[in-house]
Amino acid sequence: MYIGNHLSSSKGFLNMGKEALKLGANTFAFFTRNPRGGAAKEIDAADAGALIELMEEHNFGKLVAHAPYTMNVCAAKENIRKFSVEMMQDDMERMEYLPGNYYNFHPGSHVGQGVEAAIPMIAEAINKSLKPEHHTTILLETMAGKGSEVGRSFEELKAILDLVTLKDKVGICFDTCHTWDAGYDNVNDFDGVLEEFDKVIGLDKLMAVHFNDSMNVCASHKDRHQKIGEGEIGLEALRKIATHPLLAGKPFILETPNDDAGYAREIAMIKSW
Ligand code: FE
Ligand code: FE
Ligand code: ZN
């Protein structure tokens, strides 16, 4: 299986790969730029090439890059929306230095204008960013549904995917904490959740997993991650998810509140399953 966590991109690509190896990981996530800010530093092509080599040598799975939290491609304010789409377009060019990986983003918050207005905006942002010659797959993240978050149900995500032109270059990142908080019963009926996903979106679109426990109960719409086995989802359910045959071979990314030693422990535990 492919398991890893979020690493800081501030020390460069190759160093993230080395850091992942140290933690026992064989994939990782990183923010394409400061998660809270806009400016992105220049990409060092040689550094990206060195990471690609290391990943091949150590049989890494696909990386799951994460767009910054400030990106909201369905913002009600036009200037924020425009800035966000430009960020996504720039990120697509930057991802070409690491071809063949995933780029995950939060569909956004519709703040007042309603989800019906937001859905076409999100699809339009993807259509304006993704070109036929690109080598990246864009993933929409399943959201907890706090505030006016879009992507709180499989139906909302499907509605966005339906409006995307380059359909073979988009998919879904399934966050175990977010779907649980959104009301999907990952504890008592994970098979049923996957069945529902398959019925609404299609399991071929489930490409990556954000692997987290949750501090809150099902349908709480809170989005507070917890360490594996220490939250309301719990060890047994998470073990069943990590070892589920329908999820085999997908990159699993930990977003649990941990230090390096904690991540190394969680990665070792999950590998042992
Ligand atoms: Fe996320
Ligand atoms: Fe997540
Ligand atoms: Zn979250």
226 sits in which H/E element: strand 225-226
Q: In what order do the strands lie in the sheet with 64-66?
A: 2-5, 251-254, 206-211, 170-175, 137-141, 102-105, 64-66, 29-31
> What is the CATH architecture of 2-272?
Alpha-Beta Barrel (3.20)
| Mean pLDDT value of segment 162-171 | 98
Summary count for the chain: helices (H), strands (E): 9, 10
pLDDT per position as a tens digit, 7-37: 999 889 999 999 999 999 999 999 998 877 6
Whether 255 sits among the annotated catalytic residues: the reply is: yes
Instruction: Output the CA 245–ligand 3 centroid distance in Å.
Output: 24
Whether 141 sits among the annotated catalytic residues: the reply is: yes
Domain ranges within the chain, ordered by starting residue: 2-272
Residue found by looking up tokens 């207005």 in the block: 117
pTM over 0.85: yes
Instruction: Output the CA 93–ligand 2 centroid distance in Å.
Output: 23
Confidence of residue 112 (pLDDT cuts 50, 70, 90): confident
Question: Which residues, by Cβ under 5 Å, contact ligand 2, an ion?
Answer: 175, 210
Closest CA to 265 of 241, 55, 256, 236: 256
Active-site residue, selected from the candidate residues 6, 66, 110, 152: 66
Confidence of residue 100 (pLDDT cuts 50, 70, 90): very high
Instruction: Output the CA 146–ligand 2 centroid distance in Å.
Output: 13
175 alpha carbon, closest ligand? 2
